[in-house]
């Protein structure tokens, strides 16, 4: 369960970092404007995934597992942006509400 939480927080954090760039944002969601602070929330979620890895395995093993989780999820987000950017549209709409 902790590992899935680490994967989820890392995936959402890396997706937010990608959506904080104008080219990715407009490819995913053309009709809404970006909100400020998306990048900061992305970094906080990536840090939270590290905290979850520490809570699950301790510091020594988390230093090994967290980079592997982050690297795997970053490849998945890159492939998602390349081949199915519409799948991130609900996250982009959630960010543009306000």
pLDDT at 98 over 60: no
What is the structure's pLDDT at 16? Answer: 92
What is the structure's pLDDT at 90? Answer: 84
Neighbours of 76 (CB within 10 A): 15
What is the structure's pLDDT at 31? Answer: 67
- Residue-wise pLDDT tens digits, 33-91: 777 888 999 999 999 999 999 999 899 999 999 999 999 999 999 999 999 988 888 88
State residue 72 phi and psi, 5-degree precision: -65, -45
Confidence of residue 6 (pLDDT cuts 50, 70, 90): very high
């Amino acid at each position: 369960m902790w590992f899935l939480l680490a994967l989820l927080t890392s995936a959402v954090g890396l997706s937010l970092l990608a959506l904080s760039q104008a080219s990715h944002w407009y490819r995913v969601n053309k009709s809404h404007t970006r909100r400020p602070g998306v990048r900061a929330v992305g970094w906080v979620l990536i840090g939270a995934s590290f905290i979850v890895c520490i809570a699950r395995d301790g510091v020594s093993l988390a230093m090994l597992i967290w980079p592997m989780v982050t690297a795997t999820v970053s490849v998945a987000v890159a492939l998602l942006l390349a081949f199915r950017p519409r799948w991130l549209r609900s996250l982009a709409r959630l960010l543009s509400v306000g």
